[in-house]
Amino acid sequence: VHAACRISGRAFRDSRIVIYGAGAAGLGIARQLRGQLRDAGLQGDELTRAIIAMDSRGVISADRPGLDDFKKELAWPAEMLAQLELAEDEQASLAKVVSACKATVLIGTSGQGGSFTEEIVKAMSANTEHPVILPMSNPTSICEGIPQDIYDWSNGKALIATGSPFD
């Protein structure tokens, strides 16, 4: 993420990161990025806004009934989530969340093959000239996106890295 920000000319602290998949990998990545964002000077609401995590039920919010304890540190306060102006059913749509929070970085740890669709890549491209799109799940059969598709859908402007081997 740091390298991609340098390449794109965007300050790391200005990143809006969506982590799609809130299991152990997503939580570990969020913790690491949050620490680095804190080191870059972000605090409070600014730090919370920098990273939004989603699981199979949608955006992880503090008011979600039955929220797993390990996901609580990823949860957005209900008031902050309301500022995105997403209807309840839209909070489970990756494309809607990417657009609403103006994501510049998308990290996939969901194991949901093909979930980074053309619509989502184009939404990322609308938010920033060089979207950072990291489909990290492996093996390739469960990778969120195929690099060549992401490259094509972003008109060659996405910065892409994967957790699986691709040509």
| Distance from C-alpha of 157 to C-alpha of 167, rounded to nearest angstrom | 18
Summarised one tens digit per residue, pLDDT across range 58-70 is: 999 999 999 999 8
- Report pLDDT digits (tens) over 86-105: 998 899 999 999 999 999 99
Give the pLDDT mean for 140-167: 95
**Amino acid 60: pLDDT:** 95
Q: Record the pTM.
A: 0.96
pLDDT tens, position by position, 93-144 = 999 999 999 999 999 999 999 999 999 999 999 999 999 999 999 999 999 9
CA distances for 145 relative to 15, 67, 115, 121, 166, angstroms? 21, 28, 7, 10, 11
Q: What is the pLDDT of residue 74?
A: 87
Q: Render pLDDT for 18-59 as a digit per residue (tens, 0 to 9).
A: 999 999 999 999 999 999 999 999 999 999 999 999 999 999
Tell me the three state secondary structure of residue 164.
coil
Contact between 124 and 159 (Cβ < 8 Å): no
Q: Using 50, 70 and 90 to split pLDDT, how confident is the model at 164?
A: confident
